[in-house]
Structure formats: structure tokens, C-alpha cells
Amino acid sequence: DTHQNYIYHNNSANRWIGIRLEFIGAMVIYYVALLTVSNQSMVGLAFVGIIVSYVLRLIPSLNSLLLASGLLEENIISFERVAQYLDLPRETNDETGVGYPTSGQEKLPVRGPIEYRDVSLTYSDGSTVLHNVTLTIGAGEKLGIVGRTGSGKSSFIGTLFRFYPKNTSGTILIAGVGLNAISLRKLRNELTLVPQSTSLFSGLVQNFIDPWKAHTVEQLQTIMRECELASVSLGATLQELSDGQRQLLCLVRGLLRRKPIIILDEATSGLNADTEDLILKVFHKQFHDRTVLMIAHHLNTVKCCDRILWLQEGRVRKIAPLSEYTVEERVELGFRD
């Protein structure tokens, strides 16, 4: 709606300018004609024709000039925004800090538990999006995260990636180790994010799911079959794929990384019901041994999770299995039985 309003006002402004430019051109032609009639002996027809011709050319030129000045102003704003991001201090992406916690003789990365202790997040403009969040996510647990737009779901996930270190208060621990103590590179290397919008650049399927050439063709084909992508060739281009296939490819890439914690940020939004069911089938089959945090767009997506976290205005409204939600709460959340 906001985008449509912008287009409407833009078209209205263009039409407003166009009408006035046409009126100015008509007035110039009128006065030229008036001058010609009143001074026929002094002004030749050739001179009148030249003036009218240039006036008719001047109107679209002025219109284009005004439109170009508007686009220039818009592009300058975009440039200022890019310059603002370039001036931001860079993250420390070195090995400073302790390693990601491991367990067992094989020193495998742990799946949790993940503890939030009185965590709050306040942006630089002063708005607080998370208020004293305290909860524990068990190792291997599937946690669904629901709530209205602006309730703090993506911000909750962002704190796990340490996107806002200077704006976050409280303590987050993974297997008892403070999140801030872990090397940022090592921390993010053990987290897999499947985003809402899948932006695939040009290239081949094989290069997308295995950019470092760490797996054999047989291993890639096996995982593709397990993820219901047997019909997609490794040599196919990414532009040939449907939206559902692209989202499944992101799951394949997450599986190949074999990381202990998976985050799905509304990964099935914008897909039809059949494609969503297919993706959820693959998800439950392939990620059964991982810790999963799933932000839901369609609320029925998280009904099979172990527990459901309900965020409301940045606060924990409730965290419990779906069976413990009352009928009224299910209706408010939009669950369909």
C-alpha cells in the first residue's frame, strides 16, 4: 500500500507539472500569434513558424528537465544512505575470542542449550524492540516464533548473530558460554540462516549449493534427492528454478553445511500451500537432529514445533507447546485446526 501511494503521488505530481508546462506553451503560442496579427508588416511568417516550432520542442524538454532533477534528488538520497553505511564501524571479523563450544571426544559443535537472560534491545533512535527476554532453548529443540509484524521476531534472531552488540543488554549463552566471549567468525560459522527472500545470482545449481567444492557429485545428487529435488540437474541455471525450488536449494545448502543451529526466517512465506507442505516435509525429515528456530509467516507452519514462542511488542507473551495454548489464544494467533 505504501509503495502504491508513492506511485500515485508521483504520477499526480508529473501530471500537475505537465499541465502547467502545456499551459505555459499555449500562452507563448497565443502571444506569438497575437504579435503576428498586430504587427503583420514587421513579423514574417517564417519567423512565426520558427518560434512556434521551438516552443513546441521546449515543452517536453522542460518536462524532462524537471523529471531529471527529481530523479537526481532521489539518487542523491540513495547515495547519502550508501555513504552512511560505508561510514559505520566495521565488525571485528577476526579470531579474537574463545572458540565455539564443543562436546564429546570428537569435539563436535554443540546444539545448545541457548539461554536468554534478561535480554533487551534498544535501537539508536531510542525505540526498544525487545524487553527483558528470559528463556532457554534446549539442545535439539524445535522452537516456533510467532507474533504480529513489529513484535520483535527478527530482532530476537538478530541478537543470536550479534548484529546489534552495542544496543543489546543482558546475557546470551550457548552451552554456558557467553555469546560475547565467542569469536564472531566462529559463532556465525556454526549458525545457518535460511532467509525469507531468496536472492540467487546467475550461475549453476552446483556452484550455489557447494561453492567451495567440498562434496562429490554423488553426495550432492543424494542430498538433492532427499530434498525432493531429483528433477533438478546440478548443471541447471538458477534462473530456471521456481520459487519453491529455490527455497529447497537453501535447505540443501543448510544441510550440506551440517551446522548445529538452524534459523528459518519466514522461509515459506509467499509460497503456495503445496510447496510449503513440501518444504516442511523436507525440514522435519532432514533437520530432526538440529536445534531449529523457525519464524512463522503462516502460523500453521510452526504447529509441529516442540514449543511456540509468542512475542508481543518485544515481550514474551507465552512460550509453551501448542497443546497448552487455549482456544482463544489460538484464534488470536490465527491457528487453523
Per DSSP bridges, beta strands 142-146 and 291-295 are: parallel
80 & 152 share domain? no
pLDDT mean values, one per 10 residues, the chain (337 residues): 72 80 79 74 71 75 79 86 86 78 89 95 90 95 91 93 92 94 91 78 85 89 86 87 82 86 82 76 82 82 89 94 89 73
Assess if residue 270 is contained within a domain: yes
193 & 292 share domain? yes
152 & 256 share domain? yes
Cell 556452484, located at residue: 207
Confidence (pLDDT) at 54: 75
Assess if residue 9 is contained within a domain: yes
Confidence (pLDDT) at 155: 93
Query: What's the CATH code of the domain at 244?
Result: 3.40.50.300
Confidence (pLDDT) at 201: 67
165 & 83 share domain? no
Assess if residue 126 is contained within a domain: yes
CB atoms within 10 A of CB 174: 26
Confidence (pLDDT) at 284: 81
Question: What would you report as the CA-atom Rg of the chain, rounded to the nearest whole angstrom?
Answer: 30
Domain boundaries, position 54: 4-87
209 & 269 share domain? yes
Assess if residue 77 is contained within a domain: yes
Assess if residue 166 is contained within a domain: yes
Instruction: Quote the CA–CA distance of 325 and 186 in Å, as a whole number.
Output: 37
Assess if residue 99 is contained within a domain: no
136 & 226 share domain? yes
Assess if residue 103 is contained within a domain: no
Structure pTM? 0.73
- Measure Cα distances from 325 to 75, 280, 321 in Å: 49, 22, 7
196 & 325 share domain? yes
Element holding 309 (H helix, E strand): strand 307-312
Confidence (pLDDT) at 287: 82
118 & 32 share domain? no
| Domain end residue (candidates: 87, 118, 141) | 87
121 & 176 share domain? yes
119 & 226 share domain? yes
Q: Give me the number of domains the chain comprises.
A: 2
307 & 222 share domain? yes
Assess if residue 95 is contained within a domain: no
Q: Is 167:124 a contact under the CB 8 Å cutoff?
A: yes
Confidence (pLDDT) at 24: 80
Confidence (pLDDT) at 60: 78
243 & 154 share domain? yes
